[in-house]
Structure 1
Amino acid sequence: MGCMDDRQFFGYGSLVNRATHTYPRTRAARIEGWRRVWVHTVLRPWAFLSVEPAEGAIEGLLADVPGGDWSALDLREGAYRRQAVAAVLQECGSGEAAQVYSVPEEHADAPDVRHPLRLSYIDVVVQGYLEVFGESGATGFFASTAGWDAPVLDDRAAPIYPRHQRLTARQRGFVDEQLDAVGARRIPIRTS
């Protein structure tokens, strides 16, 4: 079987965690000339990951869009716009045509206390990177993502992220260590 398919997407956040979706034939890959960035948009109440052109590369997963029907994925990624990218497969080094979702610049804003990052979302993303790329790849996730100065809502005990996953104690410890290393500021959930 060849490596080429033009009906695939590049996931760089929660889509790297295979437990959050059922997309077939996921494969480790990278895209050059991009970085992840935390953004907020009026289209969603919470901050989340996007990508923007930048020096360097990011790792993620390529996955097929079943039957080439983008509607379900477009719905899941509603605040994003799709665009064409070239990805390189880890398994065979071939160039691949794919689509990546990013928040349009005109809708993107910096996260803030009213629109923080969610620890339950970060947990899911990092768990995916640990499982696919190991500790070095998960450390690379933190290094290749901008915006860690945004507040992180510690919702781990009562996850807000709808596709949250249970982490092992080791995975939680890794996430906590990396957040400390990038200077992330955690804020507690307010209970009234």
Structure 2
Amino acid sequence: MADPYFFGYGSLVNLATHDFPNPRPARLKGWRRAWRHTDLRPVAFLTAIPDAESEIEGMIAHVPRNDWNALDEREWAYDRVSATQSITHPLTHEVEIAVYAVPNHKHSEPSEMHPLLLSYIDVVIQGYLRAFGPEGADRFFATTDGWDAPILNDRHEPRYQRHQKLTDLESNFVDTRLQSVSAKLIQAT
């Protein structure tokens, strides 16, 4: 029987946000990341969307005892999609890998009513910096759509439940890259 793994491409890349065992860098072919809003959540989040021409980096990790409950609960606004054949990874034993994605008909563009959270972006970029270095974090920006969405600056009072404290270098990296994509930050009230 194949070992169950998931492929994370956002906050799950940041190993400080979970304790799933055996995390490993991996690549998902045929998908791209996008910032999207779903009526199931008040703010916008990342989702993976099919794109035959794209490939994204992320992390795979083991789901012990095939117990998907904790991960399904964490990713409750997403569908779990089998992606084993689309993932390049370093494991040598048989695995079954799933990716979480919001179905296309259930998401829309972010808006001022449903913005991205800077505290969420911080967590994701911190994970990419630690797993893939600055070049990998830059590839994250390049392979993610929706940077024209409004971003709520909640860094000083984080609304994202798994927020992390960034170093000054990490914060500066995020801020510089957001400026380079002409991101629109709005202040929390």
TM-score after normalising by structure 1: 0.93
Per-residue deviation at 1:71? 1.0
Partner of 1:120: 119
Q: 2 CA distance for matches of 1:80 and 1:21?
A: 17
Distance 2:109 2:178 in 1: 18
**Runs of at least 5 residues in structure 2 that lack an aligned partner in the other structure:** none
- Amino acid in structure 1 at the alignment position of 2:102: V
Q: In the alignment, which residue of structure 1 is the partner of 2:13?
A: 16
Work out whether residues 29 and 87 of structure 2, in 8 Å CA contact, stay in contact via their aligned partners in 1: yes
Q: CA RMSD in A?
A: 1.6
Alignment partners' CA distance in 2, 1:14 and 1:120: 11
1:18-167 pair list within 5 angstroms: 18-54=15-51, 55-85=53-83, 86-89=86-89, 91=90, 97-167=96-166
Give per-residue Cα distances to partners, 1:85-111, cap 9 Å, x unaligned. Answer: 13111x469996410000011110110
Alpha-carbon spacing, 1:96–1:31, altered in 2? closer, same or farther (3 Å): farther
Q: Secondary structure at the match of 1:7?
A: strand
Q: Sequence identity of aligned pairs in percent?
A: 53
Query: Which stretches of structure 1, 4 residues or more, deviate above 3 A after TM superposition?
Result: 91-97
Conserved? CA contact 1:87–1:95, under 8 Å: no
Q: Which amino acid in structure 2 is aligned with residue 133 of structure 1?
A: F
After TM superposition, give the deviation of residue 183 of structure 1 in Å. Answer: 1.3
Instruction: Name the structure 2 match of 1:182.
Output: 181
CA–CA separation in structure 2 for the residues paired with 1:93 and 1:109: 38
Check conservation: 1:88, 1:94, Cα contact below 8 A. no
Q: What TM-score, normalized to structure 2?
A: 0.94
Number of aligned positions between the proteins: 186
CA contact (8 A) 1:17 1:128 kept: yes
Give the distance between the partners of 1:174 and 1:150, measured in 2 at CA.
19
**1:140 & 1:62 partners in 2: Cα distance?**
18
- Letter of the 1:87 counterpart: I
What letter matches 2:7 in structure 1?
F
C-alpha displacement at 1:182, in angstroms?
1.1
Task: In structure 1, list runs of 5 or more residues that go unmatched.
Answer: none
1:160 alignment partner, SS class: coil
